[in-house]
Structure 1
Amino acid sequence: MPADLASRFRLALADPPRDLGRGFRRVGLRAVVADTNRVARRVDVPGEAVAEGFTWDDHDAATDRWWPQGITTSADAYGHDTGAGTFEGRDVLLTSWYAHGRFGRRLLGSRITVVVDIDGAAPVYRHVLLVEPVRVGPLHLLRPVRVHAGGIVWYGDHLFVAGSGAGIRVFRLDDITHVRNRVRARGYRYVLPQTSTYAAEQDTDHEPLTYSFLSLDRGTEADSLVAGEYGTKDSPTHRLVRFPLDRDTQLLRGDERGRSAALELHDGQPRMQGATLVGGTWAVTASAGEGRAGDLWVGRPGHLHRHRGVLPTGPEDVAHWPQRRQLWSLSEWPGRRWVFGIDVDPWVTPGRADQPAPGER
C-alpha cells in the first residue's frame, strides 16, 4: 500500500522509566543465563517443514495456566553477521507466555523465558515475570503486565512486547531484577520491570491496528520492527506494518514528540500468528485450530504461497535466525508445545519466492 497510507498508523512513546524503589537489586540477563532452573528436552517435532526442536519440562508442556506465544533470539539482539548474534558467546532464545483465564491474567499477567544450550540434548531455561512498577503512596508495588504477549523482539538491550490494541510495551534486559521476597513477585526469583510503552495511534478514518505479533527485519542500511494483526477469515482486517528502528537508541525512530510513523502497510492472511522477513521474502505462520497442522506462507504480501499443513498445530510467533539459516517458532496447545527450527533452504529462499518448494500445494 502507498507510504502515505502507512504513515497514518503511529506508535507514540509514553511513560518515562519508573523507579523500582529500594530493596530491589538489578542483575541483568547475565544472572538469569547463569541461574537456569528447568530442563527441556530435544524431541522430534511433527511437521514437514520442521528441522529440529525441543519441548518444555512436563509441567510447562501441559499446564493450562500459561500459554507460550512470542519468540526472539540473540541474533535479533546482536546482529545478523556470521560471527555475531550471541549473548556473551552463547546462543540465547527468549519466548513469551501469557497467563490464561481471568484469575491468571489479573494476578500473573505475562512472562518471558530465557533458554540456553538449545543444541544440547537438554536445553535449560528459567521464567522471568514481567512487571510494571507502580507507586501507591509510600509503597512501591509490582503490578503484573497484563498483555497477550503474542510477539516479542530483542533489539540490543531492549525487549519489545506486543500489547494488542494498546500498542507495544518496552523493557530493558539490563533491568532484570532479583527479588528476595517472592510473595511480591508471585513466586518468581527474577522480574523484568517495564520501562515505557508505545501507544497505538491512527488517523480517525482508519480502523485501529491490533499489535498481535512482532519480529525484526535487520537490513544492511536500516533496521525495522515488523508487526502484524491476527484475525479470522471473517475479520475485516489482517494487516502487516513496518516501523523504523534507531540503531543508536535501540528504540523506534520518531519525531521530536516521540511518534514513529509506519513505513509500510500490507494486507496479510487470515489466522496469521507471526511474520518475519528473510532478505525481501516474507515468511508467515498461520494456525488452523487445535489438532490441525499449521501453515507456512512465503513470498510477498498479496502474492504469498501457502505450504499447507507443514507446521505443528498451534504455531505462533516466528523469528529469523540467519547464523543458523533457520526460522524459529513455537506452538501453544497444552500437551503439544514445541519450540522448533525451520530451514530457510528450501522453504524460504530469498529471490525465489515464486518457485514452488517442498510441501507447497
Structure 2
Amino acid sequence: MSTASESPYVEGVHLQRTDENVREIAALAAVLGEPTGLDGLLGDLKYAVRPARVVPRLLGRAVREAYRWDAYDERDELWYPQGISTSADASDTEAFLTRAGDGRRVVVTTWYSTGKDGIKRGSRVSFVDLDSGRYRHVLLVSPVFDKAGNLTLKPMSIHAGGIVWAGPYLHIAATSRGFVTARVDDIMRVPGDDDHPERFGLEGSTLYSFGHRYVLPVRFTYQAHADEGHEKLRYSFMSLDRRSDPPALVAGEYAVDPDATTRLARYPLDPQTWQLASGDDGFSRPLAIDEGGVRQMQGAVIAGGRYHVTVSHGPWMPGTVFTGQPGAMREKRWALPMGPEDLSYWPSTDRIWSLTEHPRRRWIVSMDRTWFD
C-alpha cells in the first residue's frame, strides 16, 4: 500500500469499538464511591517534578525545557515511561477548562510495568502539573464481571507506547490490539492502598491497586482488524493533529525487523465526541496510510505541516528526530536525550513535547519546533 489518496477513507485496515463498560464502571464506583475525576486528582497531587539541573539544550540541541521525576521514579526499573500528551490537546473543550482551570499546564504520560520482580502490574498514566511542580500516578484497570456476576479487576496489560488526550478522553496505544479509551471523569480514589505495591484486586469491599491511590477504568477498546490480504496495523504510538479538518488521531508502527512495516496512519475524530468517526458498518477507517515511516520510530506528531518522528539509539546515545513527509524525512541527530519515546505538539507555544524512558536518564522535555526548520 502506497501513500493513500482514496476518498474519503482507505481500505485495508480498520478499528472497531467494543461495547462501553457502563455497568462494570458503575459497579466499581459502588465499591470506591463516586469518582473524583480530574479535578479531584489535580487537587491531590503527591510527588515533585523537578526542573533539570543542567542547561536544557545540553540534553539535546532542540530541547528548551526539561523536567525530572521524583528520585524514586527517576531510577525505578519496575515501570518505564512511554507515551505523552498535554492539556493543549484537551484544552479547546469547555469541559476541560472547567475542570483544570484557565491556563493550567498539565502533561499526561503513560508507563508500562516491566515485571522484573515477577509481578506484571499492567499500565498506568501520570498527570503532571508543570505549574505546581507536582504529579500523581493512576493505575489503569479493566473491570469485568465473572461468570457468577461478581465484579473483578484486571490490570491493563498493554505497552502503552502512546497516548492522546482528546477532550475528556484518553486514547492509549495497545500495539496489535489497537488502542483503549478511558475517560478522565472516571478517575477513582482508592482508600489506603499506598502501602501495598505487590497486591491487586478486590477482596470483599477492599480494593488493592499495586500501591496506587487512584485507578482509572477503561471504557472501551478500539480493536484492530485488517481486511483480507492486508496486514493489521500495530498501534505503537499515537498523537493528536488538531490543525487538520476534521481533527485526526495519528498512529504509527515501531519496527526493528527490516521486513516489518513502518506505517503511519491518520484517523478522523469527531470534534463533538472526540471518538473515531465510523461508517454504517461500525468500522473506523483511516483517512490516509503512509508506508514511508522510519525504522525504530518511537513517536510521531504533525507540527508545522510535517511529521516529526523520534528514534532512540539506546540508553547511552542522544536521540534523533526525523522531519518531513513520509518517505522523504530529514535526520536531525542529537536533538533529544537518550531513549526518547512518544511526541505531542503544543500549538500556542510552538513546542513539541517528549519524554525519555531509561532509569536515571528520564526527562520530560519540550523542543522548539522552529529548530527543525
**TM-score with structure 1 length normalisation?**
0.90
What amino acid is the match of 2:356? S
Alignment CA distance shift 1:290-1:103 (3 Å):
same
What SS does structure 2 have at the residue aligned with 1:94? Answer: strand
- Counterpart of 2:107 in structure 1 is 93
Q: Is the 8 A contact 2:105 2:131 kept in 1?
A: no
Question: 15, 38, 44: which is aligned to 2:47?
Answer: 38
1:101-121 deviation digits (Å, cap 9, x = unpaired) = 366663x100000000x256x
**Distance in structure 2 (CA, Å) of the matches to 1:114 and 1:199:** 26
Tell me how far apart the structure 2 counterparts of residues 314 and 263 of structure 1 sit (CA, whole Å). Answer: 30
Residue of structure 1 in register with 2:204 after alignment: none
**Equivalent-residue separation in structure 1 for 2:176 and 2:361 (angstroms):** 28
Q: Which moved more, 1:177-186 or 1:298-307?
A: 177-186
Find the counterpart in structure 2 of residue 358 from structure 1.
none
Question: 2:154, 2:91 → 1: CA distance?
Answer: 30
| Deviation digits for residues 136-177 of structure 1 (CA, Å, limit 9, x no counterpart) | 224322211000000000000010000010101010000001
1:176 matched to 2:187: yes
1:346 corresponds to 2:371:
yes
Q: Match of 2:113, as an amino acid?
A: A
Counterpart of 1:70 in structure 2 is 83
- Which amino acid is the alignment partner of residue 60 of structure 1? D
Q: Distance in 2 between matches of 1:105 and 1:343?
A: 39
2:337 partner SS:
strand
- Where do residues 1-361 of structure 1 align in structure 2 (5 Å cutoff)? 1-4=3-6, 6-18=10-22, 19-20=24-25, 21=27, 22-25=30-33, 26-43=35-52, 44=54, 45=56, 46-79=59-92, 87-89=100-102, 90-101=104-115, 106=120, 108-116=121-129, 118-119=130-131, 123-136=133-146, 137-180=148-191, 182=193, 183-219=207-243, 221-232=245-256, 234-266=258-290, 267-347=292-372, 349=373
Residue type at the aligned position of 1:246: D
Question: 1:78·1:85 contact (CA, 8 Å) conserved in 2?
Answer: no
Any idea what SS the aligned residue of 2:269 has?
Answer: strand
Give secondary structure in 1 for the equivalent of 2:348: helix
Which amino acid is the alignment partner of residue 15 of structure 1?
Answer: D
Q: Using the TM superposition, name which of 143-152 and 70-79 deviates more.
A: 70-79
Give, in whole Å, the separation in 2 of the partners of 1:105 and 1:249.
37
Report SS of the residue matched to 1:323: coil
Farther-moved stretch of structure 1 (89-98 vs 131-140): 131-140
Higher mean displacement: 317-326 or 254-263: 254-263
Q: Give the partner amino acid of 2:110.
A: S
Quickly say closer, same or farther: Cα 1:177–1:257, change in 2 above 3 A.
Answer: farther
- Name structure 1 gaps, 5 residues minimum: 350-361
84-93 or 279-288: bigger deviation: 84-93
The one-letter code matched in structure 1 to 2:126 is T
Code of the residue aligned with 1:293 in structure 2: it is P
Would the alpha carbon gap of residues 13 and 3 (structure 1) be closer, same or farther in structure 2, given more than 3 Å must change? farther
Percent identity between matched residues is 39
Once residues 102 and 261 of structure 1 are traced to their aligned partners in structure 2, the CA distance between those partners, rounded to angstroms, is: 37
Kept after mapping to 2: 8 A contact 1:98/1:105: no
User: Alpha carbons of 1:105 and 1:302: their partners in 2 closer, same or farther (altered >3 Å)?
Assistant: farther
CA distance in 2, matches of 1:154, 1:104: 31
Give the Cα–Cα distance (whole angstroms) in 2 for the partners of residues 227 and 27 of structure 1.
Answer: 30
Q: Offset of 1:86 from its aligned partner?
A: 9.2
Equivalent position SS for 1:346: helix
Letter in 1 for 2:284: S
Change (3 A) 1:325 1:2: closer
Q: What is the Cα deviation at residue 258 of structure 1? A: 2.7
Q: Aligned Cα RMSD in Å?
A: 2.1
Deviations 1:254-311 (A, max 9, x none): 0134311011111200010000011421111111122111101111111111001221
Q: Is the 8 A contact 1:67 1:333 kept in 2?
A: yes
